[in-house]
Structure 1
Amino acid sequence: GIRTVSHVLSIGGAGITDPQQATLPKPEDLEALDASPVRTLDKNAEERMIISIDKAKENADTLGGVIEVVVYGVPAGVGTYVESDRRLDAALASAVMGIQAIKGVEIGDGFLEAMRPGSQAHDEMVVGDDGRIARLSNRAGGIEGGMSNGQPIVVRAAMKPIPSIPKALRTVDVTTG
């Protein structure tokens, strides 16, 4: 079946800052993720995130962060390459952007792909030992041309710090200017 696993990559810039260096969590990691106070498998990143949270608390401030969701078991062909409103990547991005405080969505290596030449940006295909088509990487995050390709779907979301902070910020009174 389809299994979904999420974890925190960074909080306030502390943690795993290069998602390509992170190990994708698997469904069997759920118990370990649930045991982490910041929902990460990386103990060093966990320590840095907790320190960052403690410092923000001391400074009466809030932090944003980056989360990653991995979906396993989605068969190839979900979505469409034709209608924009039925593209799987568009639907996922729309759903994630609908969450309060989310300011960015990345599928696969999306933002990194913008900096790579085409020869390094795409997932090469080969015939696997079992005679089936296989990919040598998952830079596309499991979605190509608006459709799932059978690989794990990888979606990252950037969340801004919440504005409810005890520290006073400048603002404008709309009735008096």
Structure 2
Amino acid sequence: MKAKCGNCGAEYVLKDAEIAQHTKVQFRCTKCGKTSIVNVKLKPDATIVMSPLPSFARTGADFGGSGIGMPDAELAMPEGVTASVSVIDGPDKGLVRKIEKATVILGRQGADVSLNDPEVSRSHCLLEVKETYVNLKDMDSTNGTFFDDERVRAAMLQDGGEFRIGSSVIRVNFGRKA
């Protein structure tokens, strides 16, 4: 990036490493000795990453074109597995619900796990309990499902895995019965 001394107008080339993600950079002019502060305009990241969904997210009939199948009501909870969800932040902070069937829907009123979060869709996301992990699937929600601060359509959660829907952060607790 090119910058000019605010006092004498001398031009300088600032290296990307010097700028990093700063919005302002301060430098001393070698000609006049004065210190200048330059505002940095960061270019938006134009990177687009497109990759196919994992196979577990491409099964069954569509939910409104999302490509994610409806939950199979006949799936049985894996034998010897225990699971629960805990709301660790948001309007329902402190809420804990045991998962007693293989598929549960999280959403507002009427969902298997009901949240009082106005940013959550009626049927926001689906959890599928498997032998060694829990599948998280977005159900074509308006505000999205976020895992590791990225909007996702599907993710595999281990014990203690956290995700966000609306303004609610939810932790999945998963394990085997002793």
TM-score, scaled relative to structure 2: 0.22
TM-score, scaled relative to structure 1: 0.22
**Higher relative contact order by CA 8 Å / sep ≥ 6: 1 or 2?**
1
* Structure that is richer in strand per residue: 2
* Structure that is richer in helix per residue: 1
- Decide which structure has the larger Cα Rg and report it: 2
